[in-house]
Amino acid sequence: MGMHQQAFADCGGFARTYMSRIETGATNPSINAIKVLADALGVSISALFEGM
């Protein structure tokens, strides 16, 4: 999407450090957080997991 981590975190209402922990696998997001992330990306939840 061409966004910096901070800008994307702001779109979802998350702290940048939380986004970093998700990206590195240090934490697992709740289903509610996954829904917010999918909405911010404009995709379905299932699209986030395609190709895994």
Tokens 């209402």 sit at which residue? Answer: 13
Residues in the chain: 52
**DSSP string spanning 10-26?**
HHHT--HHHHHHHHHTS
Summarised one tens digit per residue, pLDDT across range 1-52 is: 678 888 888 888 999 999 999 999 999 999 999 999 999 889 999 998 897 7
Helix (H) or strand (E) holding 40: helix 31-41
Query: According to the model, what pLDDT value does residue 21 have?
Result: 94
The predicted structure's pLDDT at residue 34:
95
Query: Distance of CA 25 to CAs 19, 22, 42, Å?
Result: 10, 5, 22
